[in-house]
A and B are shown apart, each in its own frame.
Chain A
Amino acid sequence: METRRVTNLALLVSIGLVLSIIESAFPPLLPIPGAKLGLANIATVIALYLFGPAMALEVTIIRTILGGLLRGSVVGLFLSFSGGLVSTLVMIALYLLFKRYLSVIGVSVAGAVTHNVIQLAAAYLLIHQAAIFFYLPYLMLIAVPTGLFVGFASRRVTVSLEGLSLAAR
């Protein structure tokens, strides 16, 4: 069981890493710093829905640290780690508390919004320029379509994988 868990974790982390590499190949969507599609979040959402909160948290932590090291940017690591960690915690909380009323889609949108807001707050801690909060409403707004996209993509994957024994904990 332990081996299977480790394998699944490694698989999800690599999915996340590959997705963020794919994403970085695209030109930025909008001229707003931090406005990204957040494809890597698919890995976290899948982990949450197929394997539960602990797996989601592990995937996010390992993925953001590894991703930051691969990109070689300490600032980027700090931003994506803080954004990823808090947004995963929020998604886990929503998943556990409102499972009946909220589907993957809503959880994913909430995660995307949290990620953007926390990342902006983390950026503020680094540069101490209150002017960056000018981007806050735009980053929140852009998180809706990106969160929806990630949500629908994750749902497609979870629906397909749910029946498989791969998902067994």
Chain B
Amino acid sequence: MKVRKVKAADIAVVVLVVAASVVTMVMIARARTGEKGSTAIIEVNGKESRRVELGQNQSRTRITLKGLHGTSTVEFYKGRVRMLKSTCRDKICIGMGWVDVPDESIVCLPNRVVIRVLGTGKNKVDAVTE
């Protein structure tokens, strides 16, 4: 009977599919690391206080906000954000350094200041069901 044997092309199909999935996996991994945030949201005490567009040709700008325990200075430069100065005790927020990838954030708990980076809005899915 003809159907009984596994033929060479069957193996070729399997190899091709595995190769294609590995290639797309690599492509997606690359695309994701290249992704930059488009907007930064600054929240003070849980409420949105500022929204800043991020861009590659952004000049150095600083925003100073009043937090719970003093002031926080946020700096923007070339599409990246960092906490420049903060009156909080541990300075963990400053230690976070520059941030530019979507869904990354800088949190200063003592001062209740949160900086969140948003993407282009294309990857906000939590789950997909059938």
Complex Cα gap A159–B24 (Å): 36
Is A76 an interface residue, CB under 8 A from the partner?
yes
Given contacts A109-B14, A148-B14, could you give 11 more A-B pairs where the C-beta distance is less than 8 Å?
A79-B130, A102-B7, A102-B9, A106-B9, A127-B125, A127-B128, A129-B123, A132-B128, A136-B24, A140-B20, A141-B18
Output the least CB separation between A117 and chain B (Å): 9
Contact: A159 with B130, CB < 8 Å?
A: no
The residue from B2, B24, B130 contacting A34, defined by CB atoms under 8 A apart: B130
Which listed residue, A101, A129, A144, touches B17 by the CB 8 Å rule? A144
A148 to B6: give the CA distance in the assembly, Å. Answer: 11
Closest Cβ of chain A to B71, distance in Å, is 37
Kindly list chain B residues whose C-beta atoms are within 8 Å of the C-beta of A130.
122-123
A residues lining the B interface (CB < 8 Å) = 33-34, 49, 73, 75-76, 79, 98, 101-106, 109-110, 113, 123, 127, 129-138, 140-141, 143-144, 148, 155, 158-159, 162
Interface majority SS on B: helix, strand, loop or mixed? helix
Within 8 A of A (CB), among B1-52: 1-14, 17-18, 20-22, 24-25, 28
Given A109-B13, A143-B17, CB of A137 within 8 Å of CB of B24 = yes
Is B129 interfacial (CB 8 A cutoff)? Answer: yes
Tell me the complex Cα distance, A156–B14, Å.
20
| B89 touches A (CB below 8 Å) | no
- B13 near A131 with CB under 8 A, answer no
The CA of A74 and the CA of B130, in the complex, are separated in Å by 10
- In the complex with contacts A131-B122, A136-B28, A159-B3 CB distance below 8 A: yes
| Chain A positions within 8 Å of B3 at CB level | 49, 103-104, 155, 158-159, 162
